[in-house]
């Protein structure tokens, strides 16, 4: 059962958070034995491959639940930032490199450029990673085979800009303002991929929360 809601707290929001936490806990418990089984069945390629699919989908669901929980924390102003000194150039480069396998599988050309070799700033690594991961995941989803994805870091008007661009169908002007709306997806593109339309909305919400004084 759930504890009674505190005064001024919506029972629906409170229960939503608790349910999400329960789901994440059980998913974590599922993933542990899956790794053990994958190691034990390495000599059985068929079984190992199917278990890897189970693991991949479980991890996607785990990320989705974590994103929904972050939404709730941001809405309630309870997201705790853990700010530290960060070399943003190396940080972005490491996340970008983690998509190398996806780039090879989809035959997508990628490039990473920075005007400066290193630049330190104060940021929350976990939140920055989620934002960059969501943006790059979105780029890979909507870039066709043999397309291009470019990441560039540069300074403009005393501001540091991280630009992610890709080739593809593009977004119609009337949909541009809706891109960062919860659960929004461009209908003509949904046949190409699956998703829940919260990645970009969470990225914007996270950045807005970080920027608040």
What are the tens digits of pLDDT across the range 174-193? 766 666 565 445 555 544 44
Cross-strand partners of 109? 148
Whether residues 103 and 26 fall in one domain: no
Q: Which of these three, 45, 75, 105, is where a domain ends?
A: 75
Q: Which of these three, 49, 75, 101, is where a domain ends?
A: 75
In this predicted structure, what is the pLDDT of residue 162?
94
In this predicted structure, what is the pLDDT of residue 178?
63
For residues 104 and 142, is the Cβ–Cβ distance under 8 A?
no
Answering whether pTM is above 0.85, one says: no
- Give the number of domains in the chain: 2
Whether residues 136 and 177 fall in one domain: yes
Report the C-alpha gap between 148 and 202 in whole angstroms.
25
The sign of the CA dihedral 184, 187, 189, 195 is positive
Whether residues 89 and 187 fall in one domain: yes
How far is C-alpha 107 from the chain's CA centre? 22
pLDDT band at 197 (very low <50, low <70, confident <90, very high): low
Cross-strand partners of 122? 85
In this predicted structure, what is the pLDDT of residue 170?
73
Contacts of 76 (CB under 8 A, 6+ apart): 13
Whether residues 99 and 69 fall in one domain: no
In this predicted structure, what is the pLDDT of residue 169?
77
Report the C-alpha gap between 193 and 191 in whole angstroms.
6
Q: Which of 60-69, 79-88, 127-136, 163-172 is the least confident region? A: 60-69
184 vs 33, 110, 122, 178, 199, CA distance in Å?
35, 27, 31, 7, 10
Average of per-residue pLDDT across 18-34:
83
pLDDT digit string (tens) for 119-155?
Answer: 998 888 988 888 898 889 889 988 999 999 999 999 8
Whether residues 203 and 99 fall in one domain: yes
Whether residues 143 and 204 fall in one domain: yes
Whether residues 21 and 97 fall in one domain: no
In this predicted structure, what is the pLDDT of residue 109?
97
Report the C-alpha gap between 88 and 131 in whole angstroms.
13
- Tell me: pLDDT of 6 over 60: no
Whether residues 122 and 200 fall in one domain: yes
- Tell me: pLDDT of 194 over 50: no
Q: Which of 11-20, 43-52, 81-90, 121-130 is the least confident region? A: 11-20
Whether residues 99 and 180 fall in one domain: yes
Using the 8-state DSSP alphabet, how is residue 195 labeled?
-
In this predicted structure, what is the pLDDT of residue 212?
61
In this predicted structure, what is the pLDDT of residue 111?
97
Token pair 């939404």 in the structure block, residue: 71
Domain that includes residue 205, residue range: 84-211
Whether residues 21 and 110 fall in one domain: no
Whether residues 192 and 155 fall in one domain: yes
Is residue 4 in a domain?
Answer: no
* % residues pLDDT > 70 (the chain): 78
């Amino acid at each position: 059962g759930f504890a009674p809601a505190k005064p001024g707290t919506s029972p629906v929001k409170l229960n939503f958070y608790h349910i999400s936490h329960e789901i994440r806990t059980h998913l974590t418990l599922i993933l542990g034995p899956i790794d053990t089984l994958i190691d034990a069945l390495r000599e059985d390629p068929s079984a190992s491959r199917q278990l890897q699919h189970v693991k991949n989908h479980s991890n996607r669901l785990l990320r989705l639940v974590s994103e929904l929980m972050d939404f709730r924390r941001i809405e309630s102003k309870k997201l705790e930032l853990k700010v530290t000194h960060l070399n943003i150039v190396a940080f972005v480069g490491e996340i970008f490199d983690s998509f190398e396998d996806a780039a090879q599988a989809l035959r997508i050309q990628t490039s990473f450029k920075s005007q400066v070799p290193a630049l330190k700033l104060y940021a929350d690594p976990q939140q920055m990673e989620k934002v960059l991961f969501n943006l790059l995941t979105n780029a890979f989803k909507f870039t066709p085979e043999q397309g291009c994805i470019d990441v560039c870091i540069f300074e403009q008007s005393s501001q540091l800009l991280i630009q992610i661009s890709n080739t593809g169908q593009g977004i119609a002007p009337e949909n541009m303002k809706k891109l960062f709306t919860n659960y929004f997806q461009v209908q003509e593109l949904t046949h190409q991929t699956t998703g829940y339309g919260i990645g970009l909305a969470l990225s914007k919400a996270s950045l807005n929360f970080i920027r608040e004084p």
